[in-house]
Each structure stands twice: as C-alpha cells, then as structure tokens.
Amino acid sequence: MAVKGDLKDISLASLISINCNEMKQARLRVMHEGQQASLFFDGGNVVHAVLGTQVGEEPIYEVLTWEEGEFELQDGVASPQHTVTTGWSGLVMEGARRIDERASAVPEFIAPVEEPHGPVSAQDLIVTRRCAEGVTGVVIVATDGTVLAHDLDGESVGDLTNRADGVDPDQEGAIAVFVGNAARQIGEALALGAFQSGVVQSSTDQSKMLVLNRPDYYVGLLLAERASPALVATSVAGLLR
Amino acid sequence: MQELLRNINAVVGVSGSFVCSTDGEVLASVLPGTLDHAMLSVVARTAAQTMAGLQTVRKRKIKDIDLLFAEGRVIVRGLRGGSLCILCAQRVNVPLLNLTADVAAKKIAARLHEKAQGQAEPESRPQAQVAPAPAPAVQREDTPRPEKAGRMSSFLRPFGR
C-alpha cells in the first residue's frame, strides 16, 4: 500500500532521512508543477533517481529544492538501476548547499555569531534544521560555552524566553553546556559510560531542548511540542557523523 | 517514601531510584548495593543544581531531564520541593515507567510538601510557654549552603562563562 502526502507537511530531506534510516526498499514518487521524479531506496541509501531524462544525483538535488508538491511512497519496490553512489547524508548536504547558493539573496537566514570554525559550519545548521522534522532552532556550542553558530530565528520558539526578538543564542548555548556538563558528572559518578544525549522538558508549555554530545561541542536543538527527541537525535546524529 | 520508590523500581528496566531535596540532600533511596553514598551525593547535588539552574534560566518549572548514556539512562523528574531520580536501562519503556512514576511522583511531592510545612510551622508559632524543644536539624548552621542564585554562574565558571 502506498503512502501519499504533501511536501508542505514533510520535507523531501526528511523523507530521505526516514527511509534511509529505516533501511527501506522503496520508491518515492514526487510530483511538482507537472514534473514527476522517482527516487529509489535500498539498504540505507538512495540508489537511483530519475527526473525526466536525467538520472543519478542531479535529479535528487533538483527535487530537494521543491517546497511544494505531492509524494507517493511505495514500499518493497526494487530499483531498476543503481546510478547513485553518494551516501544519503552527503546528498542532502549537497542539496542544502545548492539551495543556500540559490537563496544567497536572503543572507539573514543563517546567523553565525562569528566565522564558523572547528568541526561545525553554518552548513551543518542548515542541513540539521531542514532535515530533522520538528526542529525549530539549532545552536552549536563549544564545551567552553562559546557559541560557534546558531539558527534561531525565533519564529517558532519565541515562547521559550521573554525576549520579543526571539531566542538568545548565548542563553540557549549556555543551557546546552550546562546540561551536557551535568550529564557528564552524573555519568561518571554512576559509571554509565559516555553521555550521548539529553532532553529537557518544561512542564508549562511542553517545550523541549535536545542536547547532543559531540566530541568537541554540544548541539542544542529546540523542538516543537510534538517532535520526537529520539527520531530527531537519530536523524541529526546521522547528518553530523 | 521507600515503598513508593520500590514501586518505581519494580518497572522492568529500572535499577534504582532516589529522592533528593532542592539542596541536593538525599531524602530517600532504593538503589543497587554497588552504588556508594559518596557517588549518590554527587549525583543528587548535580541533579538538584541542574534542575534549579534550568528553572532559573527558563523562568518556568522543568518537568524532567532525560539523560541517555552508553550504558544506561537517568531520568530526573522535577517535584515541588525536590527531585525524583530514576536510574534505568537505556531502552526502558518510558510510557510504561511514567504510569508508575507519575503516581509515585505526586505522592512524593505531597510528602515533601508536608515535610516542608512541618519544618516551617515552629517558626511561625508564637513563643512557646513551655520548655523549648531541641532545635530541629534544619536549623543547623555548621554546614552553610551556597545561595541558589549563584548556582548557575558557579556551575558555568569552569567553562569560562
């Protein structure tokens, strides 16, 4: 049985992420303004894509720019060819890079505090936010509390603070470090091994922050009320690997 | 409170639980014997500090903090007057755990509240006309505790913030 939906409800990057993480063999048909593309999944990757006369990776990059359209996912359909060799996260990152290039006329979309350095870049933020369903903001912070980059526009998460102009990156970064450091102390005391992730949930508005522990930094993700921290953690960990 | 903690520990995947005050003092615990008291105190203090710090910054109550480790999971549930800490397996069934923990948390919170009221009452009563009772333990001055407002900043100080 096919699953049908609208790209307004779930992005193509999310569909790719979910199908690859679940190691599905499936065909995804995407319809947009009279065009129809087909993506084939197998063994945790996109193995083939077709758009008109194009095959391979280029159709995927084109389809990733589609913000509107319908899709139909059919499980158990084997791919007729193998024309894609790049891993799914690489495809999504390259797609996001191309989108970013096209959207360069809107430079304020991403607001790095300073020139990104170290293991993360603004690119990671764009990919993270676009690919993980339910993520309303991202802050990447070094273990010393320095905010490396952030994507907090305050549109969806303005209720987290009293600031009228959105969420404060320094504060959100400090919270991520605070939780991460506390978790490390608790983990050491109880001999529970490495800290992987933490979720802080407030009782009044059900807002959540997911903190992911990376070797040199923490990723703080502000989540929508209905977002699943486990699913987001899996998607984002795959992207940042 | 021990009985309530035993109920929580009966859930599959839970290895232990304890209740601590907002100051990080362990008030009750049912834990595996491998955990020594010094380590438990570190966990209790850290949990209480974290809960207090987050509530100060967020300006609202924190429902819980769920920490996932390579070899286990710690869920810290915020209560009025303290925290309930549950040690469990990484893949514990959280909805199932919540069925028991929610009920226990309410009862524990009520007992913490009763305890706090019991401690506050002697101060609000007029001067006793009978021989004064021995000073309650909470009035001891030999172990001063840090100001709540300073917790967040002192915790972040090692990170240069």
Q: By the CB < 8 Å criterion, does B22 face chain A?
A: no
Instruction: Please provide the DSSP assignment of B57-86 as one string.
Output: HHTS-EEEEEEEETTEEEEEEEETTEEEEE
Residues of A in contact with B47 (CB under 8 A): 182, 186
Q: Do B54 and A186 touch (CB under 8 A)?
A: no
Q: Do the Cβ atoms of B150 and B40 come closer than 8 Å?
A: no
Residue that wins the pLDDT comparison between B57 and A209: A209
A130-154 mean pLDDT: 78
Q: Do the Cβ atoms of A13 and A95 come closer than 8 Å?
A: yes
Residue that wins the pLDDT comparison between A122 and A85: A85
Is the model's pLDDT at B5 over the cut of 60? Answer: yes
Least confident of A138-152, B53-67, B135-149: B135-149
pLDDT of residue A91: 84
A31-45 mean pLDDT: 91
Beta bridge partners of A6: A70
Q: By the CB < 8 Å criterion, does B71 face chain A?
A: yes
How many residues belong to chain B? 161
**Number of A:B CB contacts under 8 A?**
116
Fold of B2-111+146-159: Beta-Lactamase (3.30.450)
Q: Do A203 and B160 touch (CB under 8 A)?
A: no
pLDDT of residue A117: 42
Q: In what order do the strands lie in the sheet with A135-142?
A: A147-151, A135-142, A217-223, A208-213, A195-202, B62-69, B72-79, B82-88, B14-21, B26-30
Residue of A215, A214, A207, A206 lying closest to A237 (CA atoms): A214
pLDDT of residue B144: 44
Q: By the CB < 8 Å criterion, does B89 face chain A?
A: no
A48 φ, ψ (degrees, to nearest 5): -160, 145
Confidence of residue A136 (pLDDT cuts 50, 70, 90): confident
Confidence of residue A122 (pLDDT cuts 50, 70, 90): low
- CB-based contacts of A176: which residues, under 8 Å, 6+ apart? A139, A141, A209, A211, A218, A219, A220
Dihedral class, residue A40 (left if φ above 0, else alpha if ψ from -120 to 50, else beta)? beta
Fold of A110-240: Beta-Lactamase (3.30.450)
Q: So what's the ipTM on this one? A: 0.72
Residues of A in contact with B39 (CB under 8 A): 189-190
Least confident of A44-58, A198-212, B37-51, B72-86: A198-212
pLDDT of residue A28: 93
Domain ranges of chain A: 2-103, 110-240
Domain ranges of chain B: 2-111+146-159
What does the alpha-carbon distance between residue B12 and residue B15 come to, in Å, rounded to a whole number? Answer: 8
Residue that wins the pLDDT comparison between A128 and A97: A97
Q: By the CB < 8 Å criterion, does B53 face chain A?
A: yes
Residues of B in contact with A237 (CB under 8 A): none
Give percent of chain A with pLDDT exceeding 70. Answer: 79
How many residues belong to chain A? 241
Confidence of residue A233 (pLDDT cuts 50, 70, 90): confident
Q: Give the residue on A whose Cα is nearest the Cα of B73.
A: A192
pLDDT of residue A22: 80
Q: What is the pTM of this model?
A: 0.60
Is the model's pLDDT at A175 over the cut of 80? Answer: yes
